Structure 1
């Protein structure tokens, strides 16, 4: 899809965070960044350099404090406990990446590599998905337990369901990401050929709105390299957003 700025703004205007989620963490904010005109590509030299920088940044942080004591990781561990998840077994996406950094972050494709690197560099959970594969604008809700989630089990496609009360991102067809920012579904995953995407940056105190927007700015800078007609829009949801 070649989306205009108006298209992206319209898509974001219908996104929402359910009040039941904010009751768990009133300090929660989600910065949604919709982008069109991306240059489709597999992993490249730029994404590799950024991943190497992220790995070094993680090593420096972990030399000062263990991963579970990093302020934003610790906040997300508390948030997971609030809806019944065990953070020792189900790790938020930031903690999972920080733990992998020393042995090497995953190399997937250019878009995924870039957002994983920005996630580690700014220590913020950050997910990216194919905008063209969304059935509606994203919503962060507490699950009923009946929503379908398209994933893999032992290498085979399966449909799972979240636990009742679990915090999930979803659209009109089902769950796009389980347990806030733990695992993304297959249906909307980024691919080498993706040209339009939605990125979600998740923040809890002590991360500020300014830090959240700085991470988004960094991501957009890297996404813009090689993309001559990049169009983007953003919307902040939650405590201090619309």
Structure 2
């Protein structure tokens, strides 16, 4: 773990998955609808310990003191990008904006005329979306619902990634007594160890119970919000 705690360690570049676009001839039922897509993106919250004066900023919608973690994973459930550290009260779109603006940060294709969410595929609002809404033989009634169904299935991969690392490491499930800076490094280290396990133990069964999990309470990232900088 100590090797991964050093944010400048070569292991970080070695273990972060290099993004690979979904090929034109993909037969993967989950991903073949999204040619050239680089991965699935979402946010999650990890409880942290902060000074009492900072608690209002770190209090999330559920009332927990947490850091808002942005993650991007590949089609095979390996992390491509991880950004912990934002306060729990920060909106996912604001965290995403910060990731794009950082040096050596999240790289996404977008036009010179920057528009909201350019380079990202988001679901249609006001239409059925979550996987639970497509169970028991329910079928989409129009193209927007079909797109949302496939989008939800692809995006579910990052939700499962977060579920796997929290299931494997208790320190990501409960309040940590480490300083926030150390806790952020622990989050990155757990994501890197997850990638290592996925590569060395492809038949690891830790994610089986999380197959097609769907957290309807999650806030979808549909906008890129400006930061205060």
TM-score (norm 2): 0.28
Q: Which has the higher contact order (CA 8 A, sep 6+)?
A: 1
TM-score (norm 1): 0.27
Greater Rg by CA: 2
